[in-house]
Structure 1
Amino acid sequence: MLSRGDLTDEEWAVLEPMLPVSNSRCGRWRDHRQVINGIIHRLSTGCQWRNLPERFGPWQTVHKRHRLWSADGTWERPLQHVQAVADAASDIDWHINVDSTSVRAHQHAAGAPHVPPPVSSKGAARKISSGAGTPPVAAVGGGGAAGEALGCSRGGLTTKLHLAADGRCRPLALVVTAGQRADCTQFEPVMDSIRVPRLGQGRPRRRPDSVSADRAYSNGIIRTYLRRRGIRHVIPEKRDSRAARRRKGARGGRPPGFDAARYKQRNTVERAVNKLKQFRAVATRYDKRRYVYLGTVTATALLIWVRA
């Protein structure tokens, strides 16, 4: 009998063909459906791994499976496939919106040891975005709290989740940084993370029809980046930027275009954040390692797409 939150037969039929069958180190995997249901239970409740109900099997198996799949990108592959199927059916609204949200980190998220993440049977660690001005790096430990995407503030430890969502409130790209990172510094990493493969031949789709964002993303660097890629955008101009442009007169140039009707659709990314934070393991970060928390968010996004 299925319990609340477990995968239905229809959802399992979508996921099963995209999951690895065996591991070269351990042989054939334990029943994926039972383990994934245990991961979903932990995503929904935010409970400690040791407190998983016995019906999901040994908690060590569930924890290690999630940790390994977060490191080697296994969660990303079915997510991209589900997005590709939706795109082939014209079910993705490519008028996307970009925003970020702060996530309070539990005290158990601190103190990660400086050890590398586990590797898959192919021997490659997952690549994750390392933040502003740096290329993707392997998801390894080290660097203290900043290296694990933990930022210190008067409120304590925080992590920031940057994302792009389609017009149907589903995450298209996810980037995790320390809580003090400015939104504008992660705009390009988020946009560069959008990659929806084609079911047939052809390059993955990486360019949306239009982008909307709030004033936190209003600067010349972002506007130049979008113009260079030929992406229409709706980003309101900051008051100080408007005042400076007017002081320059004709030398200040024309004001950027602004479509008020299109900007009203920006609430879709806020609703996507709300969907993600319905899962307690996303709303509060309990994972010590950065790549594990990113895997937690990616697995949650996969569930949102499958259940949409």
Structure 2
Amino acid sequence: MRPDVSRWLRRRTFSAATWCAAELAEAKSARGSTVSVVLPALDEEPTVGTIVGTIRRALVEEAPLVDEVVVVDSGSVDRTAAVAAEAGATVVDTATVLSAHGRVPGKGEALWKGLHATSGDLVVFVDADLVGFDPQFVVGLLGPLLTDPAIGYVKALYDRPLHTPEGIVPSGGGRVTELLARPLLNAWWPELAGFVQPLSGEYAGRRELLERVPFVSGYGVEFGLLVDLAGLAGVDALAQVDVGTRRHSHQSDAALGRMAGQILSTAIARRPGAGRPSSELLQFLRTADGVEAVSWDVGVSERPPMRTVRAAAGEPGPLS
């Protein structure tokens, strides 16, 4: 493992259990900060109301940590907007926010317009399809931001149980992460290899940073934000928080393929100079003490065409 990544993992990886909502609410008040929570949603009627209600009850009413909860609806055809409003969220539609800029499809569009529709100094993004949502997700993401002014962006790390025909696999589920996003980061941005869940849909940042970077319209938004914010503020301004287990709906392989295509396009648009990519791949295992990094050498060698080998050795070709 690169020494800089090892140092970053020690200094910038936290546990959500470190903080409680009441203590952070006091820290927020002392700093005069405000907090907005944004949920991008498209046909999430079964889950969005529970998430909004949980946040309002635990983090608005019981502990005044969150100042506004905004659901950004991307044209749902079910009752997502109505359920979210009934649970206490402010609901906006991507078609009506920044309407002069038009409307393009994709999750990143909802996040970008959610940034415009809110006013908090600190902005927390939470996916609207989470099952068994725990408000400690939000508390954990805000912890580093409210206790360390040097940190500007925080991503969640977690286990993702994968539902299979044989039952529930306790970890896994991040197929695009393991098959595409992690190898891309390790190859071209190895300084970011310490992020356990680079595509996490739960993250928080300071508005002053978030408003200085572009938002990719589709599923490449998380990858783009990670790379762009690291380039803007430096890797040490980024952190991650272990929030335990995250449960949500899983997509088909075909849908994941489309997601991977958007992430690949995002990465190619940001690819650094044409130097040779790093051959180290950092993966992570859950242990009793948290997460453990495991390093692999995934470098490859290319053998020259056999005809050139034969020619260099003065050997006749196979058809001679």
How high is the TM-score relative to the length of structure 1?
A: 0.29
More strand per residue? 2
Indicate the structure (1 or 2) with the bigger Cα radius of gyration. Answer: 2
User: Could you say which structure has the greater relative contact order, defined with CA pairs below 8 angstroms and 6 or more residues apart?
Assistant: 1
How high is the TM-score relative to the length of structure 2?
A: 0.28
